[in-house]
Amino acid sequence: MSTPRPTSQSARPTGRPTAELRFEDVTVRYGSARRGHTAVDRVSLTVPPGQVVGLVGESGSGKSTLARAAVGLAPLTGGRVLLGGAPVPTRGRRRPLQMVFQDPYSSLDPRMTIGDSIAEAIPPGPSREERRAEVARLLELVHLDPDRAAVRPGLLSGGQRQRVALARALAGDPQVVIADEITSALDVSIQGAVLNLVRELQRELGLSMLFISHNLAVVRYVASHVAVMRDGVIVEEGPAARVLADPHHDYTRALLAAVPGTRTPRRTP
């Protein structure tokens, strides 16, 4: 992957301090009691302040459902999601938990300029001129020319749209960002640049993030802690270095074996 670009001098820490995001025995079930499907089954997971936690698993493992539950897009059947020890607010203009979605082509309103999309996420209070300046700062932060604020999403590439989506999430001044498969829809040549940007934002802003992916190679590049999810249950978690060097669960070893060029450690009986 390419070397990250230097951060713009306009970068500054977010005004809102980071906070711990905690899932406590979270269960999400769809359908009836007799014919329903449990997508997430009593999952407990913590994202410490200022850290990136990687949640990895195959499609259908329940990781995206867990993310949607955190922001109120999937109803909880049981358990709770706490931010700084309090329930996560899911209504109102101020959203301390922001989510960046997988598809960069559907996450932005095609009728709005990217500047308007970012400005819409800024909490109430600043004047029009202050909001314009904040949009320019955020575009610089994700390495896009502020002059592109007047452009509509249809003129941007997938990678550029995902950068705008990150800027829009940061505009809400969040305590935690959830990134749900944000590189999986991008060309391989672009994925590295977006991952470098995520690492850069975390380092410069002290960003707290739950980073979701089906790819262990991607997760280990950005996360300090890894949780492995299968069939709605977390089967293994711990420091990324330990999980990747000495996986305890067969499923984790299978995910590692799927990463090209990775030698999967074997545990002795």
Sign for the pseudo-dihedral over CA of 27, 247, 1, 203: positive
Measured CA to CA in angstroms, residue 102 lies from 30, 39, 170, 193 at distances of 22, 19, 16, 16
Exposure b/e, 166-194, CB count within 10 A at least 16 = b: bbbbbbbbbbbbbbbbbbebbeeebbbbb
**CA–CA separation, 237 vs 54, rounded Å?**
9
Q: Are 50 and 181 in the same domain?
A: yes
Are residues 89 and 128 both part of a single domain?
A: no
**Residue found by looking up tokens 């309090």 in the block:** 86
Same domain, 179 and 135: no
Report yes or no on 191 lying in a domain. no
**Is 8 a domain residue?**
no
- Written as tens digits, the pLDDT of the chain (269 aa) is 433 333 333 334 444 567 899 999 999 999 877 788 999 999 999 999 999 999 999 999 999 999 999 999 999 999 999 999 999 887 766 788 999 999 888 889 999 999 999 999 998 888 999 999 999 999 999 999 999 999 999 999 999 999 999 999 999 889 999 999 999 888 888 999 999 999 999 999 998 999 999 988 889 899 999 999 999 999 999 999 999 899 999 999 999 988 776 555 555 44
The residue out of 173, 195, 224 marking a domain boundary is 173
Query: What pLDDT does residue 185 have?
Result: 84
Residues 181 and 167 in one domain: no
Enclosing domain of residue 20: 15-64+76-96+175-186+204-269
pLDDT of residue 32: 78
- The answer to whether residues 229 and 131 belong to one domain is no
The CATH number covering residue 20 comes to 3.40.50.300
Looking at the domain assignment, is residue 132 inside a domain? Answer: yes
Total-model pTM: 0.87
Query: Would you say residue 111 lies in a domain?
Result: yes
In a domain, 70, yes or no: no
Number of domains composing the chain: 2
